Structure 1
Amino acid sequence: MKKVTVTIFGAYAPPCGDCETEPNAAACSCSTIDIMRKEAEHLEKLLKQKHGDIIEFAYVDVAGEEFKNYPGIEKVKENYQLPLTVLDGKPLLQGGVSFKKVSEAINQKLNPQ
């Protein structure tokens, strides 16, 4: 069975300003949650539900050591807005995560016409 590799390149965005120390921090739009990683985890779950074991999935923090294992992406990172979705080593989407678009690209890859 042919495997399809989906890799999301993202970065942790720290909370803005002093909202963590404010009394109404819970109402602030800032967050300490790693949003890009959470979106990637959700995408992985949906893709595996739809496509099963053919999906190989990874989230790579561009500030982490693991990013050095992707020299091709490291060279072009500045040209793309994060998160960057890469399908089988080729950039597919930038600036957001889309189950629909990634799933359509996987279907086209598996069933070329």
Structure 2
Amino acid sequence: MGIVGTCVTLVGVVVTGWFTYRGTRTAAAIQAGPAAEQTKFAVLEATVRRVDEENGSLRGRQSRLESLLRAFAWTADRWARQMHEAGIEPEPPHPLVDEYNRTGV
């Protein structure tokens, strides 16, 4: 009877250990799920914030460049008028300049 009791106890310990291992692993997976999602969300938020800052910077630079282009076009047009008035025929504009003068883009 003692050997049977020992075998039953041994099997019980092994089965209990196996269930404990499974439960611990499942609980860890359940707890890691929200933490992993929070980490992914934090990375996404940081990325969006960085891209927004870069876009703001690029928009500012683009606006400044467009202002500079308009000022230069106005200045070049004034110089061309002065040359015409003085009887000097200026060189024809570059095709890109001609396109800009026609379309504004």
Q: Higher strand share goes to which structure?
A: 1
Larger CA Rg, structure 1 vs 2: 2
Q: Higher helix share goes to which structure?
A: 2
> Shared fold (TM-score greater than 0.5)?
no
Q: Which bin holds the TM-score, normalised by the shorter protein?
A: under 0.3
Q: Which structure ranks higher in relative contact order (CA pairs < 8 Å, sequence separation ≥ 6)?
A: 1
